[in-house]
């Protein structure tokens, strides 16, 4: 079983923690009947390419962000709508809820051999990491901010007055260090594990979206397994996703401390400063509905309300 992901081969990276957890669980519980090979650092291709390989049956597992999904189902960019998920507890319940079921079906309509089997915390909350200080939305005006190839993320950055610049994950360090972009939207653990703190030294913790990680498996490969091994594999995905989520929750605080210790500056916006960003919430929902219709927005909002209720909020 080959698994591909974008992160580097270091236990400081959550993708690699998830993959190594998957490998350990499956190899141990299958008594060695399944051997797991990990291909980190985009060795087998970018997000879109590894999803296509899974669908073609050439790769068993792809671990991607939503950027691996939106080339095939653009409407699922709805999970990146800003300032909708309020906190960790709701985000975790959301991962387990009705949206994931609907997403599984939608992806398989486009990629019939590509089954979503687990969702994890894929890197905590996205905030703006920049080469110069940002204290409110006005400070972003004119800056070149890296996004994935997602019209929704690009529109969000543009709505704040910045220039949205798609850059592949594997090319981001160079883009930041050479001034191709002035900043990026990520979580501190990803920034530190990829050493981006060497080239971006400021962050404003606006926490606009929560980054999820998605484990996709070749359905034909999974279906070919004996029932006992199929159970091992599916349980392994749940275990790996839980370990990755736990890792990210634990590492964020230390990553923030490490960012500051390395010379970085963290700014937590005041209520007044945060208000300069919140105007984008309704604007982005309106933009999304105009472009994609309201079906998936309603699925998303309903799932968030269910998650709030499940979290006791």
pLDDT confidence bin for 10, thresholds 50/70/90: confident
Mean pLDDT of the chain: 94
Pair 165, 144: CB distance under 8 Å: yes
The answer to whether residue 149 scores a pLDDT higher than 90 is no
Q: Which residue has the higher pLDDT, 189 or 49?
A: 49
Residue 291, pLDDT > 80, answer yes
pLDDT bin (cut points 50, 70, 90) of residue 279 is: confident
Residue 273 pLDDT > 90: yes
Q: What is the pLDDT of residue 151?
A: 83
Query: What average pLDDT does the segment 176-199 reach?
Result: 92
Name 281's Cβ contacts closer than 8 Å, sequence gap at least 6: 81, 82, 83, 84
- Condensed to tens digits (0 to 9), the pLDDT of residues 41-62 reads 999 999 999 999 999 999 999 9
- Tell me the per-residue pLDDT of 93-105, one tens digit each, with 9 for 90 and over: 999 999 999 999 9
Predicted pLDDT of residue 265: 97
What pLDDT sits at residue 226?
A: 97
Number of domains the chain is built from: 1
Q: What is the pLDDT of residues 151-171, one digit of tens each?
A: 888 999 999 999 999 998 889
Residue 190 clears pLDDT 90, i.e. is over it: no
Q: Looking at the predicted structure, is the pLDDT value of residue 150 above 80?
A: no
- pLDDT, average across residues 75-101: 94
Domain residue limits at 10: 2-310
pTM of the model: 0.84
- Assign 8 a pLDDT band (cuts: 50, 70, 90): confident
The CATH number that applies at residue 186 is: 3.40.190.170
Percent of the chain with pLDDT over 70: 100
pLDDT mean over 61-83:
94
Q: What is the pLDDT of residue 296?
A: 97
pLDDT at 178: 96
Residue 189: predicted pLDDT: 80
């Amino acid at each position: 079983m080959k698994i591909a992901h974008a992160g580097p081969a270091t236990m400081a990276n959550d993708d690699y923690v998830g993959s190594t957890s998957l490998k350990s669980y499956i190899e141990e519980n299958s008594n060695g009947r399944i051997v797991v090979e990990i291909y980190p650092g985009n060795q087998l291709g970018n997000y879109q390419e590894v999803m296509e390989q899974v669908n073609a049956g050439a790769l068993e597992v792809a671990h991607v962000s939503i950027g691996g999904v939106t080339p095939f189902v653009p409407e699922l960019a709805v999970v990146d709508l800003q300032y909708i998920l309020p906190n960790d507890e709701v985000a975790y319940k959301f991962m387990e809820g009705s949206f994931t079921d609907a997403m599984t079906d939608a992806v398989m309509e486009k990629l019939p051999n590509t089954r979503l089997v687990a969702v994890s915390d894929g890197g905590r909350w996205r905030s703006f990491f920049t080469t110069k200080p940002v204290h409110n939305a006005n400070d972003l005006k004119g800056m070149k901010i890296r996004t994935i190839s997602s019209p929704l993320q690009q529109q969000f950055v543009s709505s704040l007055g910045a220039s949205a610049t798609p850059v592949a994950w594997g090319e981001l360090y160079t883009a930041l260090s050479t001034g191709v972009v002035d900043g990026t939207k990520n979580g501190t653990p990803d920034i530190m594990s990829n050493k981006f703190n060497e080239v971006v030294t400021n962050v404003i913790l606006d926490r606009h979206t929560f980054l999820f990680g998605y484990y996709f498996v070749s359905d034909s490969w999974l279906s070919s397994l004996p029932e006992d091994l199929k159970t091992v594999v599916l349980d392994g995905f749940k275990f790996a996703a839980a370990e990755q989520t736990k890792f990210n929750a634990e590492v964020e605080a230390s990553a923030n401390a490490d960012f500051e210790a390395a010379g970085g500056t963290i700014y937590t916006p005041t209520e007044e400063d945060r208000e300069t960003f919140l105007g984008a919430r309704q604007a982005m929902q309106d933009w999304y509905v105009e472009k994609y219709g309201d079906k998936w927005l309603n699925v998303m909002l309903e799932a968030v309300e269910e998650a709030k209720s499940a979290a006791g909020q």
